[in-house]
Structure 1
Amino acid sequence: MEILGSRTILRPGDYDAALRFYGDVLGLAIYREYPGGTVFFAGQSLIEVAAHGNTGRPQHFEGALWLQVRDVYDVEAELVTRGVPIVRGARQEPWGLHELWIADPDGIPIVLVQIPPDHPLRRDTR
């Protein structure tokens, strides 16, 4: 199987609140809009916020969105000024990544990650 692209599709309880959060609060650029949906750029991936198929309640979502940023500490300061509740403050984890945890309006966990230059995820192991 060859994967050509991917995206995460969210069906939030409050579509407008989700659009404000991902577009205005997080500042993600819009990739595409269609009747009942908006798709945002998220680095090399896409996050689609869809009103269609919505039951008025958020779908069950187990796991977290993992979004890499350049400086997680700067992002934390910016989000605090925007009034975004911080679930877990930025810190370096035992596995070497710097992580900050927030949540979207439906409580979906979002891990904002900074990868240090010397971390194995950055090293070419060839």
Structure 2
Amino acid sequence: MEILSSRTILRPSEYERTLSFYRDTLGLAIAREYPGGTVFFAGQGLIEVAAHGGTGEGGFRGAIWLQVRDLTAAQTELVLAGVKIAREARQEPWGLHEMWIADPDGTPIVMVQIPEDHPIRRDSRPPSA
């Protein structure tokens, strides 16, 4: 399967504290902000701090985000390899096409296809003169 990009998603119990740590203490540059989160550049990868936080002990605190070119093909490939699909591929209210699986230790892995018209794929800079 072809992976186009990846990121680590954190869902902290205290968003502002974690945001400040990555932004101010570590000095990571912001890749993009959206209502409910901030994505930082982290070398060759990205770290996303989501404001809809973790639920504490034993709750969902993070995931691995893998962007693929064709989510339907990825799902078929994973099923044929015997991987259990935790959540079938579908379009989310925020416009991304997502499917969820987990690694052997239960770490959530979000497989994502970004539609052509999604804001992540559009250049938000003003046109140059």
TM bucket, shorter chain: 0.5 to 0.7
Q: CA deviation at 1:45?
A: 3.1
Distance verdict in 2 for CA 1:5–1:74, change over 3 Å? same
3-state SS in 2 of match to 1:95: coil
| Ranges of 4+ aligned residues in structure 1 off by more than 2 Å | 1-6
Could you tell me which residue of structure 1 aligns to residue 69 of structure 2?
Answer: 70
Unpaired runs of at least 5, structure 2: 1-26, 30-40, 47-58
TM-score (norm 1): 0.54
What do residues 25-59 of structure 1 show as CA deviations (whole Å, max 9, x unaligned)?
xxxxxxxxxxxxxxxxxxx539xxxxxxxxxxxxx
Could you tell me which residue of structure 2 aligns to residue 116 of structure 1?
Answer: 115
Distance verdict in 2 for CA 1:2–1:103, change over 3 Å? closer
2-side partners of 1:94 and 1:61: how far apart?
Answer: 20
Could you tell me which residue of structure 1 aligns to residue 32 of structure 2?
Answer: none
Q: Does structure 1 conserve the Cα–Cα contact (< 8 Å) formed by 2:28 and 2:42?
A: no
- Is residue 98 from structure 1 mapped to residue 86 from structure 2 by the alignment? no
Q: CA deviation at 1:61?
A: 7.6
Could you tell me which residue of structure 1 aligns to residue 88 of structure 2?
Answer: 89
TM-score (norm 2): 0.53
Distance verdict in 2 for CA 1:87–1:2, change over 3 Å? closer
3-state SS in 2 of match to 1:67: strand
Could you tell me which residue of structure 2 aligns to residue 45 of structure 1?
Answer: 45
Aligned residues with identical type, % of pairs: 64
CA RMSD, 1 decimal? 2.2
AA partner of residue 45 (structure 1)? G
What do residues 40-93 of structure 1 show as CA deviations (whole Å, max 9, x unaligned)?
xxxx539xxxxxxxxxxxxx9821111111111110000000000000000111
Aligned pairs (5 A) from 1:13-32 = none
**Number of paired residues?**
76
